[in-house]
Chains A and B, each alone.
Chain A
Amino acid sequence: MTRTEIKDRLVEIMLVAMPDAEETIKTATEESNLHTDLGFNSVGILYIVIAIEEFFNVRFENVGFNDFQTVGDVIDYIERAQAA
């Protein structure tokens, strides 16, 4: 899966999580901050992580949710997990 494809899937997941923030999420870039720009709190990140685990068939190990600041951080993690 390419980085762009991962990002598209991630955007889909985020849209299901927060349908009210459709415009903000659709225009999100890899540099967008999950907390300040997109408005995800720790439970929001938890939601995304659960969905990613199910969708991408990866497992998040030994990471705190503060480790993910931007959309790019999450994509990096998925890429690393898929490569492992």
Chain B
Amino acid sequence: MNPEKTAKQNRPKKKRRNPFRYFVYDFVKFTGALPVLVWLRPKIIYESKAAKKLIKGAAVVVSNHVGFTDPIGVSFVLWYRHTHMIAAERLYNTKLSSWFFSHINCIRVDRQNFNMETFRAAVDVLEDGKPLVIFPEGGVNREDHNVTPIKAFKSGAVMMALKGHAPIINVYLTPPEHWYDRFVIVVGESVDPAELCGGAVSLTAVDKVTEGLREKEFKLREIYQQWRMRKSSK
């Protein structure tokens, strides 16, 4: 028996990927870039020098959810990557929207009855070394931003990061007061959820990490407020 041949046979087969799987995503990205840049005029602020580093490999990007332009806002941060996003099932209510969201790398989630298929699809993305964007508030925060700036986070994002062995990056998106306001995005440093959980991963540890992510959002919000004050004092 030829050992080289046997080793070759035993090697795990690489998943066959459709070479055009990002065609629609790239088309939307490149054709939409200029008008969106003109409209939103994004300003990206980084928490530190470490946060400025390019995001390579898998990462779970968590962000607050203030409006329908948020996925675009997060895409500004990751403009150089093919990002995947978790999207609510109600966005898939027509054939056209279902086709569109599936082709721009969205993973459908049933918020009322979460299933394993969604979780597996998300973990697959991470294991594939791609970034995954999640809005852990579970929907657009329509409450008064002065009273509830960030709603409670759901722990699913941490579970996905743990299972996909990916770091988590916080992003804070500023709620625009007017349609013509500049879109300001604050990017935090990445954190390792496994390290934060310590040795044993229990639900209490997961909840603690999730709460930590929410607290980080408040920290990023402060960074934005300081930037705004500096800007207005000039």
Contacts and interface: CB of A to CB of B under 8 A. Distances in A.
Contact of A46 (B113, B114, B117): B114
B115 A65 contact: yes
B113 A47 contact: no
Contacts, number: 49
Contact of A64 (B113, B159, B200): B113
Interface in B138-172: 154-156, 159, 163
B110 A64 contact: yes
User: Nearest 9 A-B pairs (CB), nearest first?
Assistant: A64-B113, A43-B155, A66-B113, A60-B116, A64-B115, A17-B203, A42-B114, A65-B114, A18-B203
A49 to B, nearest CB: 6
B193 to A, nearest CB: 13
17 contacts: A16-B200, A17-B202, A17-B203, A18-B204, A19-B204, A42-B156, A43-B154, A46-B114, A46-B119, A46-B159, A47-B159, A47-B206, A50-B119, A62-B115, A64-B115, A66-B113, A67-B113
Interface of B: 110, 112-117, 119, 154-156, 159, 163, 200, 202-204, 206
Contacts of A60: 116
Contacts of A72: none
B116 A61 contact: yes
Q: Could you say which interface size class chain A belongs to?
A: 20 to 34
A20 interface: yes
Contacts of A44: 203
Interface of A: 16-20, 42-44, 46-47, 49-50, 60-67
Contacts of B159: 43, 46-47, 50
Contact of B206 (A20, A43, A63, A65): A43
B93 to A, nearest CB: 18
Contacts of B203: 17-18, 43-44, 47
Contacts of B200: 16
B178 to A, nearest CB: 37
B115 A63 contact: yes
Given A47-B206, A65-B115, 14 more contacts: A16-B202, A18-B202, A18-B203, A18-B204, A20-B204, A42-B114, A42-B154, A43-B206, A44-B203, A46-B114, A46-B159, A64-B114, A65-B113, A66-B113
